[in-house]
């Protein structure tokens, strides 16, 4: 009769089995391809950081998340994000069945994964086939009028992705706005610039600046929903498109959390780095369901109003701000992030 550990290895190549003391008892065979040292025997929470739905600090907290889907990352590989269903193993331990979620196609290319690295019943098998065949079905297309799913987001091509942060780029934003304008979905758009980023880039170098941008991308991912579109529009400019979210209280909480976490001091390459963020928000209801590109303009106006009011804060667009930066009595900027 096959043992439970061998059964797990055979069926779930990306599982993690954690014992009652919080130490990793076993990992799936595909972990070796991810460039991660074998974590067997190490404390799970020292190897992995659970980002959602909440951050456990001990094994009891982790067991309390049983039955939920977690979003987590490997501490030694911050760019490696994972999703996993947590279940109890009936011996006060837990088993986490992992996947790459929306980033599966990037993971396949980055780590050289094959069909043997996934469970035979996994939907990713179909995605791998499409990727190998270079099917036209892999064209960038998704609908912001319904809940986005992992298979459709995995079909996004590199042409829509910012190479540094892994977020969407301006081209990806333009396509999403076009599709959004053809739907009946209400939405909010957040325009965000980093405060004092130019000084960091100029004084500490582009290497530190790139590290800051990657960290900001991580903060955005940690605070947003699966169906929000995250965009690095260029330089230190970011855009968040939130389909179905127009509640002022929730948007206040989102913007406030982003500004708080981005403003936390950090150490990069031995250098103390301190930046901030300013955010402008426009919602489609406020914008009278105008063309989404107009809503982006309104969010931009609110952003500059926030900067002029002292930075490190967020403002909603309101009609008294006008329909252009000229009406706001601001010169059209040539650069941001100062």
Q: For the chain, which residues make up each domain, given as ranges?
A: 4-102, 163-321
Q: Most confidently modeled of 33-47, 66-80, 147-161, 271-285?
A: 271-285
DSSP string, 272-292: EE--EEEEEEEETTTTTT--H
Of the candidates 291, 283, 293, the residue with the CA atom closest to the CA atom of residue 255: 283
Name the one residue in this structure whose structure tokens are 């300013």: 278
Note the pLDDT of residue 144.
45
CA 61, 90, 14: angle at the middle one, nearest 5? 75
Please determine, looking at this structure, whether the domain spanning 163-321 carries the CATH number 3.30.70.270. yes
Could you give the CA distance from residue 5 to residue 153 in angstroms, rounded to a whole number?
33
Query: Binning pLDDT at 50, 70 and 90, where does residue 128 land?
Result: low
Distance between CA atoms of 245 and 253, rounded to whole angstroms?
12
Burial 138-162 (b: 16+ CB within 10 A, else e): bebebbbeeebebbebbbbeeebbb
- What is the model's pTM? 0.53
Alpha-carbon gap, residue 338 to 279, rounded angstroms: 14
Backbone angles phi, psi at 15, to 5 degrees: -95, 160
Strands (E), 77-200: 77-88, 94-99, 187-195
In DSSP terms, 95 is beta-bridged to 17, 87
User: What is the pLDDT confidence band of residue 146, given thresholds at 50, 70 and 90?
Assistant: very low
Q: Which residue has the higher pLDDT, 41 or 291?
A: 41
Length of the chain: 338
The model's pLDDT over 169-188, given as tens digits with 9 standing for 90+, comes to: 998 899 888 888 888 889 99
Segment 84-112 shows an average pLDDT of 79
From CA 301, how far away is CA 305, in angstroms rounded? 6
> Cα–Cα distance between 159 and 205 in angstroms, integer?
27
Instruction: Quote the pLDDT of residue 188.
Output: 94
DSSP 92: S
Which CATH class, in words, describes the domain spanning 4-102?
alpha beta
For the chain, state the CA radius of gyration: 22
Computed over every residue of the chain, the mean pLDDT equals 81
- pLDDT exceeds cutoff 60 at 298: yes
Q: Which contacts (CB < 8 Å, 24+ apart) does range 48-54 have?
A: 48/16, 48/72, 48/73, 48/74, 48/75, 49/73, 49/74, 49/75, 51/221, 51/222, 52/222
């Amino acid at each position: 009769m096959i043992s439970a550990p061998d059964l797990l290895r055979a069926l779930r190549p990306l599982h993690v089995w954690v014992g009652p003391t919080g130490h990793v008892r076993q990992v799936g065979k595909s972990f070796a391809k991810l460039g991660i040292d074998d974590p067997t025997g190490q404390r799970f929470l020292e190897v992995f950081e659970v980002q959602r739905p909440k951050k456990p600090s001990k094994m009891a907290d982790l067991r309390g998340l049983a039955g939920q889907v977690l979003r987590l990352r490997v501490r030694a590989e911050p760019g490696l994000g994972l999703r996993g269903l947590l279940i109890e193993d009936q011996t006060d331990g837990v088993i986490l069945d992992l996947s790459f979620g929306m980033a599966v196609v990037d993971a396949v290319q980055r780590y050289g994964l094959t069909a043997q690295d996934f469970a035979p019943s996994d939907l990713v098998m179909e995605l791998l086939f499409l990727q190998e065949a270079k099917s036209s079905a892999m064209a960038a297309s998704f609908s912001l009028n319904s809940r986005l799913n992992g298979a459709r987001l995995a079909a996004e091509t590199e042409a829509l992705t910012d190479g540094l942060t892994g977020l969407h780029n301006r081209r990806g934003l333009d396509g999403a706005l076009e599709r959004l304008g053809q739907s009946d979905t209400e939405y909010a758009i957040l325009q965000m610039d980093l405060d004092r980023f130019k000084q960091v880039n100029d004084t500490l170098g582009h290497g530190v600046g790139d590290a800051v941008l990657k960290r900001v991308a991580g903060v955005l991912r940690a605070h947003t929903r699966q169906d929000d579109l995250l965009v690095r529009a260029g330089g230190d400019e970011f855009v968040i498109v939130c389909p179905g979210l127009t509640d002022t209280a929730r948007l206040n909480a989102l913007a406030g959390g982003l500004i708080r976490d981005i403003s936390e001091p950090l150490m990069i390459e031995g250098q103390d780095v301190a930046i901030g963020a300013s955010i402008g928000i426009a919602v489609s209801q406020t914008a009278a369901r105008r063309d989404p590109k107009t809503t982006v303009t309104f969010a931009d106006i609110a952003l500059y109003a926030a900067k002029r009011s002292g930075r490190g804060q967020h403002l909603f667009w309101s009609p008294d701000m006008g329909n252009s930066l000229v009406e706001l009595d601001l010169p059209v900027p040539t650069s941001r992030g100062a």
